[in-house]
Every structure is written in structure tokens, then in C-alpha cells.
């Protein structure tokens, strides 16, 4: 195995990215998000060497907002399996100040996976859910055709907050399912070569998460003892990513700093994790996602017209329902992108006479 390619973020997009900015965050507060094309087998299997993705820091909200570290989507890697969005935040001191405050905002075409290492986050949504999530528990929201939600640090809260917010793209056949919310507080935990692995999504080490998935997928939280060296088996049909949640980690001989991600191409049968001190990683995986997607703001769709319609529906109070109980106004949608992806011909061929 050769050395990994180091890939750093730049401010502007290129390749499949139209426009100058990436468009997604836990809740996207960006002023002018542009559309981004994701998925497709050409992206998924274009390279066989591991890829080290450095995160970029993105403020979540206003001037006193939390900073999150984003590794997906990345300029050179849009997805790992159906995982299309990865934000890592903390550990932050949230004893004072607003903590996490994400006002009501819409989603479609995806699932959101909320997973904490420390602290607590209160979720509310438009299908009537109010649910606190704590470490070791999964909040899984399936947006399907439309949902809206808010996320906040509760008034009485743990002083520290550390976690991830992930999105899973839904395949075309399922992306219009009815919205759903599930809280899983009893996930399977297995010990594999000295590592304690909680199976958040999918199957690992002979144990299966009860969480509903729509494509072959893995999400696992891995705890390593200080000085550990663990070899974890991988599904050869999946591509994988190891997201470092702690310092001092080495993944397949590559040092991976906290917040960074090492992507392993499909075909790998195992991965070696070494940790200096007590270690923690998130192992993500899935079958390469072959459908082409379009992501804009908090939406995962297939074409520009869909984004126009979704934005209009949110602004008009249609389709996405109402989140009750959040102390604050819903997020306004940003302006539509000025550049459209996959533009359709302005003049359609005329039928022959
Ligand atoms: Mn959200």
C-alpha cells in the first residue's frame, strides 16, 4: 500500500461543484449555497489508494456559534457509501452560552444520524417528536419526502458537548418515503480484537443494529484502550472511512489527527487502528453509491427543479410541517444558486413534422 494522498480543502469548488461554496452543514446557515453533484460510480471507485481528508472548520450559526469540522462532502470525495455529510464538533464547553442552537429547518431525500461522545442534544421535529439524545444512543431521522426539525442544547445540560452529525443519502426508490424518527438507546456492542464497537447502523462483528437503513451501510463507534493495536475486519464490497474522534491515532500506518478522516477504497478486508492514549473513532462504510445526486442547502435530490420547488414549499410553509416548542424563528432558505447543474437544453428538439 503506497502513501495516502493528502487532500486539503480549498474555498472554491471544482469538478462536479458548481459555484464557489459548499452548501451543507448540520443546518445550513450559509448565505449563498450552491448546488453540488454527488454519487456516481466514476467518483466512487476512481482510485485505489487511501485518501486522507483534512476537515475544514465551519461556524454553525452566528458569531458566538460552535465550530464544526467537516470532512464530507469534500472537494475530492463527495461520499463514502451513502454517507454524504460528516460534521464533527467538540469537545466544547457549553456550560455557558447558547451551546448548539439550530432553529427549525427542512430536509428531504436523506437520513440524519445524530451521535454523541459527550453531552446532550434535544431534537424536535414536524412529525411530533421531542427526543433528547445522549452518548451511546442514536437519533435517526428519515426525512424521506419532507420533514423539518430543530436541534438545541437543552436548558439543563452537560457542560461538555462532543459528537457528530451525519447524513445518509436515500436511494431513488426510497427517497419519497414518509418521514420517520427513531431513537435507539440499546445498540449492540461487540468486542473485536480489543476494541469495543457499538454498531450504530448496519452489521459488524456478527451483531446487527436495529436502525433502519436503505442501502448496505455501516456506522460503528470504536473505543480503543491506551496503547491499543486492533485489527478490524471490513466488508470487501464496501468502501470505508475512519473518522478520528481523538488525538494520537494511526490508521493503517497513517497518522490521522482528530477530526480528519482516512478513506479506504472498496476491496479492503481489514483495517489496523493504533491509539497512543484512550482512542475513539467512527468507522463508516457502504456500497459505493452509484446514483447521481444533487445536494443543495439541506436537501438531497436529483435535479434543479426539485430544489426550486422544495425551497418554495419551505418558504410558503408547505410540505415540511411545523416544529413546535423551539424558542425562535425557523431558518429562512438562502437564495437559489445562481449556477445550475446539469442544465437542460433551453430549446427542446421539435417533433418532426
Ligand atoms: Mn438538520
Q: In order of start, what are the domains of the chain with their CATH numbers? A: 5-187+290-316 (2.60.120.10)
Q: What is the whole-number distance in angstroms between the Cα of residue 266 and the centre of ligand 1?
A: 29
Closest by CA position to 184, among listed 145, 148, 204, 213:
213
Q: How far is the centre of ligand 1, averaged over its atoms, from the C-alpha of 150 (Å)?
A: 7
3-state secondary structure of 97: coil
Grid cell locating 304: 434543479
Task: Please give the distance, rounded to the nearest whole angstrom, from the Cα atom of residue 68 to the centre of ligand 1.
Answer: 14
Instruction: Quote the pLDDT of residue 18.
Output: 30
Residue 341 Cα to ligand 1 midpoint, Å, equals 23
The pLDDT of residue 299 is 96
Q: Measure the N-to-C terminal CA separation of the chain; round to a whole number of Å.
A: 61
Q: In this predicted structure, what is the pLDDT of residue 47?
A: 54
Closest CA to 23 of 67, 65, 63, 78: 78
Mean pLDDT by 10 residues, the chain (353 residues): 47 31 44 70 59 90 73 90 96 90 95 98 98 98 98 94 97 98 98 97 98 98 97 97 98 97 95 97 96 92 93 97 95 84 42 40
Give pLDDT, residue 16.
Answer: 31
CB environment 82-121: b (16+ within 10 A), e (fewer):
bbbbbbbbbbbebeeeebbbbbbbbbbbbbbbbbbbbbbb
Compute the distance from residue 133 Cα to the ligand 1 centre, in Å: 14
Cα–ligand 1 centroid distance for 19 (angstroms): 23
**Residue 272 alpha carbon to ligand 1 centre in Å:** 33
Q: How far is CA 263 from the centre of its chain?
A: 14
Report the pLDDT value the prediction gives residue 344, as an integer from 0 to 100: 37
**Predicted structure pTM score:** 0.86
Contact assessment for residue 27 and residue 102, using Cβ atoms and an 8 Å cutoff: yes
> Quick one: pLDDT at residue 26?
47
Contact between 296 and 305 (Cβ < 8 Å): no
| Cα(34)–Cα(296) distance, integer angstroms | 6
Query: Are the C-beta atoms of residues 200 and 284 closer than 8 Å to each other?
Result: no
What's phi and psi for 304, nearest 5 deg? -60, -40
> What is the CA(230)–ligand 1 centre distance, in A?
34
Measured in Å, residue 24 CA sits from the centre of ligand 1 at 10
41 SS3 class: helix
**Distance between Cα 106 and ligand 1 center (Å):** 7
Amino acid at each position: 500500500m503506497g502513501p495516502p494522498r493528502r487532500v486539503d480543502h480549498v474555498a472554491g469548488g471544482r469538478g462536479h461543484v458548481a459555484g464557489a461554496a459548499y452548501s451543507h452543514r448540520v443546518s445550513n446557515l450559509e448565505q449563498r449555497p450552491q448546488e453540488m453533484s454527488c454519487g456516481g460510480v466514476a467518483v466512487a471507485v476512481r482510485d485505489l489508494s487511501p485518501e486522507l481528508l483534512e476537515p475544514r472548520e465551519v461556524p454553525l450559526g452566528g458569531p458566538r456559534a460552535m465550530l464544526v469540522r467537516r470532512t464530507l462532502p469534500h472537494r475530492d470525495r463527495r461520499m463514502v457509501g451513502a454517507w454524504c455529510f460528516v460534521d464533527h464538533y467538540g469537545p466544547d464547553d457549553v456550560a455557558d452560552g447558547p451551546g448548539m442552537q439550530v432553529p427549525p429547518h427542512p430536509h428531504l431525500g436523506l437520513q440524519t444520524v445524530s451521535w454523541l461522545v459527550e453531552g446532550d442534544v434535544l431534537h424536535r421535529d414536524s412529525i411530533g417528536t421531542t427526543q433528547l439524545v445522549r452518548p451511546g444512543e442514536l437519533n435517526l431521522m428519515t426525512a424521506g419526502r419532507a420533514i423539518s426539525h430543530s436541534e438545541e442544547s437543552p436548558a439543563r445540560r452537560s457542560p461538555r458537548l462532543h459528537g457528530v452529525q451525519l447524513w445518509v443519502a436515500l436511494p431513488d426508490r426510497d427517497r419519497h418515503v414518509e418521514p420517520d424518527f427513531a431513537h435507539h438507546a440499546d445498540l449492540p456492542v461487540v468486542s473485536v480484537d480489543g476494541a469495543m464497537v457499538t454498531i450504530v447502523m448496519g452489521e459488524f462483528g456478527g451483531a446487527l443494529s436495529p436502525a433502519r437503513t436503505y442501502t448496505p451501510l455501516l456506522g460503528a463507534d470504536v473505543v480503543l484502550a491506551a496503547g491499543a493495536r486492533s485489527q478490524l475486519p471490513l466488508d470487501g464490497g464496501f468502501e470505508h472511512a475512519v473518522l478520528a474522534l481523538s488525538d494520537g491515532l494511526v490508521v493503517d500506518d497513517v497518522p490521522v489527527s482528530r477530526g480528519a478522516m482516512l478513506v479506504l477504497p472498496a476491496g479492503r478486508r481489514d483495517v489496523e487502528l493504533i491509539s497512543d492514549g484512550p482512542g475513539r473513532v467512527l468507522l463508516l462504510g457502504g456500497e459505493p453509491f452509484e446514483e447521481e445526486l444533487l445536494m443543495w442547502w439541506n436537501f438531497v435530490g436529483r435535479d434543479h427543479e426539485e430544489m426550486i420547488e422544495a425551497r418554495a414549499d419551505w418558504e410558503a410553509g408547505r410540505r415540511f410541517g411545523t416544529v413546535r416548542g423551539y424558542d425562535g424563528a425557523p431558518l429562512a432558505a438562502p437564495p437559489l444558486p445562481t449556477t445550475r447543474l446539469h442544465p437542460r437544453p433551453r430549446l427542446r428538439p421539435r417533433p418532426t413534422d
